[in-house]
Structures are given as C-alpha cells and as structure tokens.
Amino acid sequence: MIFNLNFTTDYGQFYLNDKDEGDTGSENFWSDQALNDKLAVEKGILGVSIENTEGMVKCELEILNSKSLISDFSSFDHVVEASLEIKTGILQVNDCPFSIIVLEEKIEIGNYRVRVYFNNLKSAYFENPKDYYKIEMWKDVFSDRHVLKRFEN
C-alpha cells in the first residue's frame, strides 16, 4: 500500500503512531540524539523531523510485505530507521501540535521497522521548499533507532 501525503504541520515534526498512543511530551522523546538523528522514538509513536520552516510535508508512505529492498542510499540525504509497535491494528499519521489525523489505516498488529528517507534537505530553506520524505514500514523484530546515512549540512 502506498499513500501520498501532503499536509502542513508545526514545530518541524509529524508523527507515525499506533492509534491514540505515544507521549510526545516525554523528555526523552526529542532528546539531543533524536534531534541529530531526525527521528524521535517513544512507545507507540515515532516523531519525524522535517527540515523546512514552512511546515510543509510532502511524503510517501509505503507499507511493505517484507523488508525494504533499498540498500543504496546515495540518492538520499539522510536515512534513519526505528521500530514501532502497533497494538491496536490502526496506524495513524498526525500533525503537530493538534494531532490532526492525516492518515488512519488498518494494518496487522505487531512490530514494524520504519525507515525514513529524507531528500532535498538543502532546498528546504528556499522560498518554495522541496524537501521530501519517503517512509517504508514492514513487519520485523523490534530493534533500536539506527541511522543508515547521516545528513551533514
């Protein structure tokens, strides 16, 4: 399943979460490490950092049947992944800070690996930002956040 998402958010972030789950107010959520990695992790929720200051999110979300086949990250600026447990069977994408539901989709209960690809980050500060986010998720064993390619701006 592929979803093309275009929406606005504030505070340079949006969320992927298990329905109605996650504490974004936790002091560990946007830790220094999470900010550097551009991905915050807490039980039941992931926070994705966006680069542009306009709050414009252009994103493709794909739910895969198996692990991502992308292994060459040369065309991406930054790539990071982490696990997300879905207990309710409903995945949500929400804006910040109002938690407006951008997407709500039924998926299988279980642990998912979520990989976020960041593109065109240097153009994020232009008048018309072109930063773009591709998210892939697939069922996998739970594991910690891991940066596969780091953006050095």
What tens digit of pLDDT does each residue of 92-121 get?
Answer: 999 999 888 999 999 999 999 999 999 999
| CATH code of domain 2-149 | 2.60.34.30
Task: Give CA–CA dist 15/42, Å, rounded.
Answer: 11
Per-residue pLDDT tens for 54-85? Answer: 999 999 999 999 999 999 999 999 999 999 99
pLDDT surpasses 80 at 153: no
The domain limits of the chain are: 2-149
pTM of the model: 0.95
Percent of the chain with pLDDT over 70: 100
Distant-in-sequence, close-in-space partners of 153: CB < 8 Å, separation ≥ 6: 121, 122
